[in-house]
Amino acid sequence: MARREDGRFLTGQGSYVDDYRPARLLYAAFLRSPHAHARVVRIDASAALTLPGVAAVLTGEDLARSAKPVRAASKTPAVKVTSFPPLALGKVRHVGEAVVMVAAESRYVAEDAVERILVEYEPIPVVTDMEGALRPESPLLHDEAGTNLLVSREFARGDVDEALAGAALVVRERFRFHRHTPVCMENRGCLAEYATGSGTLTLRSSAQCPGLVRDVLSDLLDMPEHRIRVIAADVGGGFGAKASLYPEEIATCVMARRLGRPVKWIGDRREDLLATTHAWDEIVEAELGVDRDGAIVGLRAQVTADVGAYSIYPWTAAIEPVQTISFLPGPYRVPTYRGRTRGVATCKAPLGPYRGVGRPPAVFVIEGLMDRAARQLGLDPTEIRLRNFVRDEEFPYKSPSGIVWDRSSFTASLLRACEALDYAAVRAEQARARAAGRWLGVGVASYVELTGIGSAIPVSPGMPIATGTEAATIRFDPAGKVTAVFGVASHGQGLETTLAQIVADEVGVPIDDVRVIHGDTEVSPYGTGTYASRSLVLAGGAAILAGRAVREKMLVIAGHLLEADPADVVMTDGRWAVRGMLDRSVAAREIARAAYTGARRLPTGLEPGLEATRFYDPYYGTASNATHVAVVELDRETCAVKPLRYVVVEDCGRMVNPLIVDGQVHGGVAQGLGAALLEEIVYDDQGQLLSGTLMDYVVPSACEVPWMEVHHLETPSPVALGGFRGMGEGGTIGAPAAIANAVADALVPLGIEIAELPVTPDRLFRLIEHARARG
Amino acid sequence: MVTVRLNVNGVAHEGRCEPRKLLADFIREDLGLTGTHVGCEHGICGACTIMFNGEAARSCIMLAVQADGAELMTVEGLMRDGKLHPLQEAFREHHGLQCGFCTPGMLITALDLLRTNPSPTDREIREGISAVLCRCTGYQGIVNAVRAAAPTLVAGR
């Protein structure tokens, strides 16, 4: 089914933040730090304030008088809590950090004003290397923490040291997954309006989580939540980048409240690359022990993540490093495990969630180790995986980090992927290519991810907010049309279509009679938003519950109208009929009209109206899994990697809309491929961002992305309502590992392993030259 | 301030702006046509692509004054008689969009491709649309949509 939101997007009628232009609007611009680490000695904005058209200037000290500093609190001692002032207070900790905000009659004037502000900085030594930042002599980012080690945690099962000592083979590697950034095509932006008469604040923001932003603004601005409305109308991509609270949102609200005028800030791409959260950036040292048959006996690993300058709200600096170590064992039986993880502060933009969170590096590592072990044992990469997958009869299976995998299709997904690819034929082709001197490789990656997480597990460990529930309100109007309101917020996922499909099924109306409203805290039931592959599971589950409640009432009213026992009323072909007497029926619209007509048309004692709000908590959440297979060829002249085929077999449980599922996989794989081959955030050793444009940070174009063959298994989730499993992130989780393994497979004749991503042509060239020199 | 006279989607407009005003900002702010999006302001992402005297051009790296006397078409000009353009229909049918942000630039770019190459191969479609970055779709739905729309556009000529 084609999407219902497309009509407005195709005709230029989307409503993104920057499309709003209320009367008396002021435009904001930020002066951002040119230094990676410096004390702010003095700010002189007098020349800016005299510029015609400038309304106000806000510094960190001004702002601190109107808003509390952001502190991503944590319930676990594993995380050191540090402040993140919306505008620098006392010192700056990364290039691009917001220091002063200007509001003016146009963005042009606001930028002129920024140029006239003088800030005197006193540079202090910079630290950009995460391992160097752990040394005692390293410059300290946060005095209050007393260390740059903001996160430290360990998971263990069994005696891994003994297991590895007794293993037939131990493979080890130091993996490096470099820094990336999500690059939503719409840069971040927000528009705040404060109504002085009513004391209400409205923030339109390019946010994934309007509910979460509303809650925290209430605390920071000391305003009751019911006087704050956060609207995320159309949002041009999120991918996790827009799931956190941002300094600009707070500063814009403060400025609007101060001036009593609407204030809008729309970031440009430079600001996006400098100050939107970055991702992944980890060193993983890992050892995998296997027995003679390739069965895993133990896994030992240490993750070190460069979390950048600040711990972000609400996820904290723990989200990436802890997620990586939690998911490292993958879909395998790992009898002994010790995973240590560290999150280290450096003078770079903060690390935040990006599609996959922790799992793209985790899967790169475990799948890389599996291939290394297979090569040394002379096993095919598919064989070693099949020998180690959690078997179908072993579900539910508790992983060494404590995550429980419900019934999944690890083995089936791999077998189906091999069949779809014609694995044997591809291997035969590879042998011929190799004989002809071509570098052709096949890479396999299997993974499992936790999705639709309920209240039992925090999305990020120790985080200060609860994220385990979502709600749906389903309301019939007297004309029989349905409005369904959700606290989640769509930013490309097509939730206006999929949630409408679920609602339409539950209450028995055509989908065109259902309108989905989302992303507006004023009209929705309580919720946080869309992130962590949760929306179809949580909001879809809530829709099912609310739909059932409405349907039950409809049966009662229909029974009354039809003079039949409600137990004998059935819903069929869009009408509500007496079982066995289908000519005695009423339409949904007649039931709805009766519901609002009052006692004359309703059974005695039945409350008028036809609507229900229900909350859903999937408690543990569910699992989604997939196998990706990539076939690549390396250009011997340019060292460019060309993907020739790409097969995905994914299992997201019951599919509501296969077209949308395919689209999510395609987009996810393209991002994973970019991460593996092209994209890298690069800082120099003074913390200057060298990849500050889209010429330098290379997002794949249509020419770099291969045709993708996507196949589906539909193992209904045994634990989530509706059998849904979340699937927004999987493509990006599997692709880096599949590509890396394919490149390594192509280079087997040279004995090259891929331990660093992205594997750019210059890195490959060096690896190849080095291998040749080695002979 | 300078005066800019131009024709957008068949309608004559006159506006006054600073000489430094970007064409994209002029279209969005002065003409109120917010369908044209700004994604990078350095000519890479292509979200701001419009038809400029019949050819695709990036409105974020042009000044409004450069468009004085020009004929422009933006995404708002694609529909005819209240009906979607066949390319828009194809994008909808083949899931050629997700968040919708690159879509206006992508549609205009694809239209320009099909104007110069009415029956492109998949490779040519990919090269043609590589002027616009999309972060959501992995381009597969877009390639499918452009391929499907091509014969309809030829037939409609």
Chain segment A100-126, per-residue pLDDT in tens: 999 999 999 999 999 999 999 999 999
Chain A contact set for B108 (CB, 8 A): none
The three-class DSSP label of residue B85 is coil
Cα dihedral A490→A493→A494→A499 (10° resolution): -70
CB contact under 8 A, B78 and A11: yes
The distance from CA A685 to its chain's CA centroid, rounded to whole angstroms, is 29
Residues A312 and A209 in one domain: no
pLDDT band at A156 (very low <50, low <70, confident <90, very high): very high
Q: What is the CATH number of the domain that holds A236?
A: 3.90.1170.50
CB contact under 8 A, B133 and A694: yes
Which has more confidence, B98 or A574? B98
Chain A contact set for B129 (CB, 8 A): 701-702
| Chain A, chain B: beta-carbon pairs less than 8 Å apart | 178
CB contact under 8 A, B92 and A237: no
Sequence-distant (6+) residues with CB within 8 A of B86 are: B149, B152, B153, B156
Chain A contact set for B104 (CB, 8 A): 12
- A426: its two tokens: 């591809």
Residues A624 and A721 in one domain: yes
pLDDT band at A457 (very low <50, low <70, confident <90, very high): confident
Q: What confidence score (pLDDT) does residue A716 get?
A: 95
Taking CA–CA distances from A494, the nearest residue in chain B reads B98
Taking CA–CA distances from A18, the nearest residue in chain B reads B34
CB contact under 8 A, A708 and B140: yes
- Give residue for tokens 């279209």: B27
Residues A588 and A711 in one domain: no
Backbone angles phi, psi at B60, to 5 degrees: -85, -15
Q: Are A457 and A307 in contact (CB under 8 A)?
A: no
Q: Which of A695, A698, A694 is nearest to A678 (CA)?
A: A698
Does an H or E element contain B3, and which?
A: strand B2-8
Contact status of A572 with chain B (Cβ, < 8 Å): no
Q: Centre a 10 Å sphere on the Cβ of residue A159 and count the other Cβ atoms it contains.
A: 13
Assess whether pLDDT exceeds 90 at residue A464. Answer: no
CB contact under 8 A, A667 and B137: yes
CB contact under 8 A, B28 and A708: no
Q: Which of A475, A483, A488 is nearest to A500 (CA)?
A: A483
Asked if residue A181 is part of any domain, the answer here is no
Contact status of A12 with chain B (Cβ, < 8 Å): yes
Q: Which of A28, A32, A189 is nearest to A99 (CA)?
A: A32
Q: Are A408 and A446 in contact (CB under 8 A)?
A: no
pLDDT band at A508 (very low <50, low <70, confident <90, very high): very high
Sequence-distant (6+) residues with CB within 8 A of A147 are: A80, A140
Contact status of A11 with chain B (Cβ, < 8 Å): yes
Residues A113 and A59 in one domain: yes
Q: What residues does A625 pair with on adjacent strands?
A: A448, A651
Contact status of A493 with chain B (Cβ, < 8 Å): yes
Task: Please report, for residues A471, A578, A729, the alpha-carbon distance to residue A307 in angstroms, rounded to integers and kept in the order given.
Answer: 33, 62, 21
pLDDT band at A600 (very low <50, low <70, confident <90, very high): confident
Sequence-distant (6+) residues with CB within 8 A of A718 are: A406, A407
Domain encompassing residue A735: 279-455+619-774
State the average pLDDT for chain A.
Answer: 97
Contact status of A735 with chain B (Cβ, < 8 Å): no
Assess whether pLDDT exceeds 90 at residue A252. Answer: yes
Q: What residues does A630 pair with on adjacent strands?
A: A443, A646
Asked if residue A175 is part of any domain, the answer here is no
Chain B contact set for A5 (CB, 8 A): 100
Indicate the residue among A266, A301, A325 that finishes a domain. A266
Q: What confidence score (pLDDT) does residue A550 get?
A: 98
As a whole number of angstroms, the distance between CA A773 and CA A763 comes to: 15
Contact status of A234 with chain B (Cβ, < 8 Å): yes
Q: What confidence score (pLDDT) does residue A765 get?
A: 97
Residues A377 and A345 in one domain: yes
Assess whether pLDDT exceeds 90 at residue A598. Answer: no
Distance to chain B for A188, nearest Cα, Å: 10
Taking CA–CA distances from B125, the nearest residue in chain A reads A702
As a whole number of angstroms, the distance between CA A310 and CA A346 comes to: 9
CB contact under 8 A, B40 and A493: no
Assess whether pLDDT exceeds 80 at residue A775. Answer: no
Q: What confidence score (pLDDT) does residue A705 get?
A: 98
CB contact under 8 A, B76 and A12: yes
CB contact under 8 A, B92 and A185: no
CB contact under 8 A, B134 and A108: no
Q: Which of A610, A636, A201, A170 is nearest to A376 (CA)?
A: A170
CB contact under 8 A, A186 and B84: no
Q: What is the ipTM of this complex?
A: 0.98
Distance to chain B for A59, nearest Cα, Å: 27
Assess whether pLDDT exceeds 90 at residue A461. Answer: no
- Which of A182, A695, A702 lies nearest to residue B44, judging by beta carbons? A695
As a whole number of angstroms, the distance between CA B1 and CA A664 comes to: 47
CB contact under 8 A, A701 and B133: yes
Taking CA–CA distances from B102, the nearest residue in chain A reads A185
Sequence-distant (6+) residues with CB within 8 A of A525 are: A471, A472, A473, A485, A486, A487, A613, A615
Asked if residue A132 is part of any domain, the answer here is no
Name residues of chain B where pLDDT drops below 50: none
Taking CA–CA distances from A12, the nearest residue in chain B reads B35
Residues A82 and A209 in one domain: yes
Contact status of A108 with chain B (Cβ, < 8 Å): yes
Backbone angles phi, psi at A579, to 5 degrees: -55, 130
Asked if residue A90 is part of any domain, the answer here is yes
Q: What confidence score (pLDDT) does residue A762 get?
A: 97
Structural domains in chain A (count): 3
Distance to chain A for B69, nearest Cα, Å: 24
CB contact under 8 A, B126 and A708: no
CB contact under 8 A, A108 and B18: yes
Asked if residue A665 is part of any domain, the answer here is yes
CA angle B27/B31/B37 to nearest 5° reads 35
Residues A685 and A547 in one domain: no
CB contact under 8 A, B133 and A666: no
- When pLDDT is averaged across residues A489-518 and rounded to a whole number, the result is 97
Distance to chain A for B92, nearest Cα, Å: 6
Asked if residue A373 is part of any domain, the answer here is yes
Indicate the residue among A600, A616, A632 that finishes a domain. A616
Q: What is the pLDDT of residues A310-329, one digit of tens each?
A: 999 999 999 999 999 999 99
Chain B contact set for A699 (CB, 8 A): 133, 135
Burial A394-417 (b: 16+ CB within 10 A, else e): ebebebbbebbbbbbbbbbbbbbb
Taking CA–CA distances from B83, the nearest residue in chain A reads A11
Q: What is the pLDDT of residues A715-759, one digit of tens each?
A: 999 999 999 999 999 999 999 999 999 999 999 999 999 999 999
Q: What confidence score (pLDDT) does residue B29 get?
A: 96
Q: Centre a 10 Å sphere on the Cβ of residue B88 and count the other Cβ atoms it contains.
A: 25
Distance to chain B for A305, nearest Cα, Å: 25
As a whole number of angstroms, the distance between CA B132 and CA B134 comes to: 7
Q: Are A592 and A384 in contact (CB under 8 A)?
A: no
- Can you list the domains of chain B with their CATH numbers? 2-77 (3.10.20.30), 86-155 (1.10.150.120)
Task: Please report, for residues A19, A80, A460, A642, the alpha-carbon distance to residue A235 in angstroms, rounded to integers and kept in the order given.
Answer: 11, 32, 24, 32
CB contact under 8 A, B138 and A268: no
pLDDT band at A696 (very low <50, low <70, confident <90, very high): very high
- Which of A2, A236, A731 lies nearest to residue B99, judging by beta carbons? A236
Q: What confidence score (pLDDT) does residue A463 get?
A: 85
Contact status of A330 with chain B (Cβ, < 8 Å): no
Strands A482-486 vs A514-517: parallel, antiparallel or unpaired = parallel
Eight-class DSSP state of A716 = -
Q: Centre a 10 Å sphere on the Cβ of residue A222 and count the other Cβ atoms it contains.
A: 10
Kindly report each contact of residues A589-594 with a partner whose C-beta sits within 8 Å and lies 24 or more positions away, as own/partner: A589/A479, A589/A480, A590/A480, A590/A561, A591/A476, A591/A480, A591/A554, A591/A557, A591/A558, A591/A561, A592/A476, A592/A477, A592/A478, A592/A479, A592/A480, A593/A478, A593/A479, A593/A480, A594/A557, A594/A560, A594/A561
Q: What confidence score (pLDDT) does residue A599 get?
A: 85
Chain B contact set for A236 (CB, 8 A): 37, 39, 99-102
Residues A579 and A432 in one domain: no
Residues A235 and A356 in one domain: no
Residues A231 and A348 in one domain: no
CB contact under 8 A, A11 and B18: no
Q: Are B24 and B63 in contact (CB under 8 A)?
A: no
Q: Are A736 and A754 in contact (CB under 8 A)?
A: no
CB contact under 8 A, B126 and A702: yes
Q: What confidence score (pLDDT) does residue B157 get?
A: 74
Asked if residue A168 is part of any domain, the answer here is no
Assess whether pLDDT exceeds 90 at residue A774. Answer: no
Q: What is the pLDDT of residues A410-449, one digit of tens each?
A: 999 999 999 999 999 999 999 999 999 999 999 999 999 9
- Which of A186, A660, A707 lies nearest to residue B140, judging by beta carbons? A707
Residue type, B2: V
Q: What confidence score (pLDDT) does residue A691 get?
A: 98
Q: What residues does A627 pair with on adjacent strands?
A: A446, A649
Does an H or E element contain A612, and which?
A: strand A611-616
Q: What is the CATH number of the domain that holds A563?
A: 3.30.365.10
Asked if residue A595 is part of any domain, the answer here is yes
Indicate the residue among A560, A588, A616 that finishes a domain. A616
CB contact under 8 A, A185 and B47: yes
Q: What confidence score (pLDDT) does residue A671 get?
A: 98
Residues A651 and A576 in one domain: no
- Which of B88, B97, B135 lies nearest to residue A699, judging by beta carbons? B135
Length of chain B: 157
Residues A99 and A221 in one domain: yes
- Which of B78, B103, B130 lies nearest to residue A701, judging by beta carbons? B130
